[in-house]
Structure formats: C-alpha cells, structure tokens
Structure 1
C-alpha cells in the first residue's frame, strides 16, 4: 500500500518533526511531507492522489486541509488520522486512541469504513468532516491564535470564548432545511455537525452519526444571560438537545443567510461570512 504521511510539526505540543518521524517509520510510508505554512497540507494531499493511503498527522486544522486536498483533487485514497493537535475532535468521533503508538497500530490494522463528507458552498467551496459553525463561534475562532493554543492547550478554546464574549450579538437569520421554506430566527449561533465534538471534546452533537447522510443542526436563539449560562452547562455534558433553549434538527442540506453576515468556520478554520 502506497502511503503518504502529512505532518504538521507544530501541532499541539510538538516542537519539531524528527522525533515524530522516527516513531512513524512503522507505517512504512513512501512519502513524508512536513508543512511549513497554512495551505501546505492541502497541497501535499492533492499532489498525492495516486497514493492508496494519506495520513493526516496533526490537529483538526491539518485534517481539514488534507480532506480538502483529497476532495478537490478527486482522490480515492483512504484517509488515516493521527491526533497530534490541540483539540483532535474528529479523532474522538472516529474512536482513534489518544496515544500515538495505539493510533499507529489502528492504522496498521487497516480497517476502512466510509464516512460522510460535507460540502460548503459560499464565496468558495470547502469541505469538512467534523463541524461547521457560525455566529458567536466564528468570533471565538477569530480570537483563537496559534500562540493561545500552544500556551493554553485545550483550555485555549475557553480562553478565546471569554475574550469574545463582549462581542456576543444576535443575527437575523434565514434558515432553510432540505430545500423547504426558509424560517427567520434571531440567532447567536449556528452549528452544523457531522462529527460529535468541538473545542477539545465538548459534545455539541452527542448523537451525530458520520455514516447516516444527515447533518445534526443546533441553532442557538437569542437568550438572556441566565438562560445562556444554563445552556452552556448542558452543552458541556451533552444534555442540551432536548432543551427549549435551542432548536435541534437533522437534514441532508441547510442554507443560511444572515444580517449581518456570520463568520463561519469549517473544522475550526475560518472561511468567511458570505451566505452558505
């Protein structure tokens, strides 16, 4: 099996590529690519479309780039995941072990399954496998810097949320599911989930199934501070889907426009604030 490994050498607590490369030799890779700047992982993946297995060694951002390289390149390679980042949220949904050696063993075992891939069409076309969100969470991602991730680790997501809270605002939003008639809502946040976790393990879509062909959609309408505090506590333990403070739906397709435009991310990476 022709294998290409794509490593982000500064993902999570990593400092350089050499020690990790030595540990990855067991994968018997033919090509080993090390990213130096944003966009490299996507480029490396698109250039390796004739390989049988592409392995993303990094965090959710690295994985998203590899997924987009595969999707835009029309690649039929299998995708392997080595969770080396700060959040590693999609790896949690997949059941990938936290330890590197155990994760390598899982890839060597060679069990392959099909999963859903989600396409976002806005001012550009992007793909994701985990979660896309807009509104307040987009502002949070705008505040989240690489330095914050390195300093705070998984707590960086809470740190950036605290920094963004003063900018919490509502969005007049039109939401249409599966080409049905659009509904207008005043929302703080929109979450479109394929995977189950965000922000280092928060179960935002605890019942999501990455093989069912459906998106788990969580809409958070404008609420008072007390209601939001209760909702935040419910979300942290994955008990919010039945709450009156949210709107929860499943659909194959969702269309969103808002005033002002929501900043959206895919798998934690900002993509813009155009209708999607």
Structure 2
C-alpha cells in the first residue's frame, strides 16, 4: 500500500506543522511507502487530489490511498478534488480517502470514531484493510447550477456567522488561544444575530416557512462546531441527510437549548425542527453567511437542492 498524503501544515493554528515531523518519523520507522504533497493556499488540496489521482491512474497503481492530513477543511477539499477527477473519468475505480485529524475541529473524526491523537489515528489507517462507502452531502445551487459536496455539513446563519467572525480574530492562528476565538465569536453572534426567512421543500409535501430562522444546518454527521452533537442520530453510513432548523431563541429558550443539547434531547424543543431526507430544497429570502465543512461561503441568499452521494473512505 502506498499513501499519497495531502498535508495542510497550517491546520489547527499551525499545530499540524509541529506534529508532522513526528508523523513522518513514524512512517519511516515502519517503512511505509508514502509521498507528501503540501498545500500552499486555500483550494490547493483540490488541485493536489486531482493531480495525485492522475498520477495513480497513469501508473496503473491499484494499491493506493489518498490521505488528507489536516482539519475538516483539508478533508473537504480533498474530497472535492477526488469527486471532480472521477466526474471527468467515471470509468476509473475510485481511490479511497483516509483522514489524519491534525486540525482543530475534527468533527468528521469524532463521528467516524477516528482517534483524535495522531499516532492512534495513523495506526488505525495503517491497519485498515478495505474501504468503506460513506454518504456525503451533495448540493446544487438552483440559480447558477453549480454543484458541490460536503463531508460534514452545510450551514446557514448562526454557525456560519461564528466561522466568519472567528476567522478574522487575531487569536485564530494561535496554537494555544485559537479555540478562544471561536467562543468569543459565539458570544458576539448571540448578541447581534438577526433571524432570517427560510423555506424548506420536501418533494411531495407542502413547503414549510420559517420567518425567524437562527441556524439552518444540513448534515450527514452528528457533530458540528468542534464536538457539538447537533444531530445525534445522523450517520455517514445511512443514505440520508439530517436538516436542523433552530428558530431564533429568546434568552430562556437559549439556556434550555444549551442544556438540552448536552442531554441529546434538544430536538424535542418546539423551536427546533428536524428533517431526515435523501433530497430536500432550502431557500432564504435574506442574505446571511454560509459555511461548508467550516469553510466560508460569504454573505448571500441561498436557493439550494440537497441530495446524498457516496465515496469510499479508508476507515476501519
């Protein structure tokens, strides 16, 4: 087995840069065959994944794995590159993706029971013997007809606003204080965030309208936001997506929401709405920030179709 590693040294507030020498030393100690490709800018992992798969195909290399080493954003870009390649060459057998979680959020790792410590995660990868087909989210912008995919979630509203603010915090790239940028952004967003108009359409059913949406997240995993279990029963092994809509809570409802989420009973609250579908449509009338797997989309309105897709992952 040969591992083609896409490494984001900036992941986790540069934590990955410090950990990588230890990872590499372990690979050499175990005489593992690998090649490393280091990302240089946002979106570079997409290009690298495409280049790697082209090399593997031309070399007729059937015993290969593409490993994303970084955070959820690195995994997201790696998936996009791989799916993009096979969209061009649909007859080729798909090379699986492994994930070495050395970033900050690592919600994908939590959901798939990948150890969060690099040495145990690497050991699990190296002892894997076959790929597992996992569900990933697919979305289509119905205005532009652009398509995209996500391994974790597509969020509109509160969570995306937090991502936007945290990415602009002076603490963001600090190894020790980076996580505080997220929680400071949470507090600021709670103070200032305004609800927005959201429409949900399930094929064959009447449209649901929420005039004061606070958080709209479509996910195939239980976790978001670095370990918050927003959709407790969601699973990448199920061919479905979970949509969670939280209407803007008042202070008492907010405290209730926070309390209940730790008990995994928040979905019973009357201002929280839960859908489980293979296909659904979401549109917003007001501009709000959006995010995919923690990567910013900017502030805009949305007119989206969500569906399930699948890809092989190197997960034991």
Q: Same fold (TM over 0.5)?
A: yes
Greater share of strand residues, 1 or 2?
Answer: 2
Moved more, 156-165 or 13-22: 13-22
Q: Counterpart in 2 of 1:10?
A: 10
- Note if contact 1:90-1:196 (Cα within 8 Å) is conserved in structure 2: no
- Alignment partners' CA distance in 1, 2:24 and 2:220: 31
Task: Confirm or deny that 1:78 pairs with 2:100.
Answer: no
Superposed CA offset, 1:211-248 (max 9, x none): 21111111111332211221123224433122222011
**2:132 equivalent to 1:128:** no
Report which of the two structures shows the higher radius of gyration computed on alpha carbons: 2
Stretch deviating more after TM superposition (2-11 or 234-243): 234-243
Uncovered stretches (5+) of structure 1, i.e. residues with no partner:
none
Distance 1:216 1:259 in 2: 22
Is the CA contact 2:11–2:103 (under 8 Å) kept in the aligned structure 1?
yes
TM-score, scaled to structure 1: 0.92
Distance, in Å, in 2 between the alignment partners of 1:162 and 1:84 is: 26
Q: Superposed, which structure 2 residues align to 1:111-260 within 5 Å?
A: 111=129, 112-122=131-141, 123=144, 124-145=146-167, 147-148=171-172, 150=174, 151-178=176-203, 180-186=205-211, 187-260=213-286
Structure 2, unaligned runs of 5 or more? 87-92, 305-316
| Higher relative contact order (Cα pairs below 8 Å, separated by 6+ residues) | 2
**1:24 positional shift:** 3.6
The 1:145–1:219 alpha-carbon spacing in structure 2 relative to 1, beyond 3 Å, is same
Is contact 1:154-1:200 (8 Å) kept?
Answer: no
> What is the alpha-carbon root mean square deviation over aligned residues?
2.1
Deviation per CA, 1:76-119: give whole Å up to 9, x if none.
11111111011111000110112211111111112421100211
1:42 Cα deviation after fit: 1.2
Provide the C-alpha distance between the structure 2 equivalents of 1:233 and 1:84, rounded to a whole number of angstroms. Answer: 30
With over 3 angstroms needed to count, the CA separation of the structure-2 counterparts of 1:256 and 1:192, relative to structure 1, is same
- TM-score, with normalisation over the residues of structure 2? 0.81
What does residue 275 of structure 1 align with? 303
